[in-house]
Amino acid sequence: MSDYYRITKAGVIMPMTDVVKWGRWFQNADRCIAVTQIGVSKVSTVFLGLDHGSIQGRPILFETMVFGGPKDGEQYRCCTLREAKVVHESMCESVRNAT
């Protein structure tokens, strides 16, 4: 299984075995899934491009993180684009409730 992945504009995740090709892709890739500003807080969800561990064999490829405000530094990582979108909305709701 690969540690390197890319995501297409259509949201398809593809493993990559050639680290040089992956590096070229990563250098200019738009990896942003969603960014939401809530008062002084920003919730950001990105495609990591590297497997940051695994959950029952599934690569962890997405990260949602809060910058600023009472939830500053809170983060959550997940495996799929669908999960990443749900986590982003959940984190936004958590930030709204904290402010």
Q: Is the dihedral of CA 60, 35, 6, 28 positive or negative?
A: negative
Q: What pLDDT, in 10s, does the model give residues 71-97?
A: 999 999 999 999 999 999 999 999 999
Here the tokens at position 59 are 């690569």
Nearest-CA neighbor of 63 among 51, 52, 50, 77?
77
Question: Phi/psi of residue 31, each to 5°?
Answer: -100, 5
pLDDT at 4: 95
d(CA 57, CA 90): 24
**List of residues 6+ apart from 60 with CB closer than 8 A:** 48, 51, 52, 53, 54, 77, 78, 79
CB 66: neighbour CB atoms within 10 A?
23
Structural domain of 19: 4-98
What's the domain count of the chain? 1
Threshold 0.85, pTM exceeds = yes
pLDDT of residue 57: 80
Q: pLDDT class for 58, splitting at 50, 70, 90?
A: confident
pLDDT tens digits, residue range 30-46? 999 999 999 999 999 99
Q: For residue 55, is pLDDT > 70? A: no
Mapped onto helix, strand or coil, the DSSP state of residue 56 is coil
Confidence of residue 1 (pLDDT cuts 50, 70, 90): low
pLDDT reported for residue 99: 79
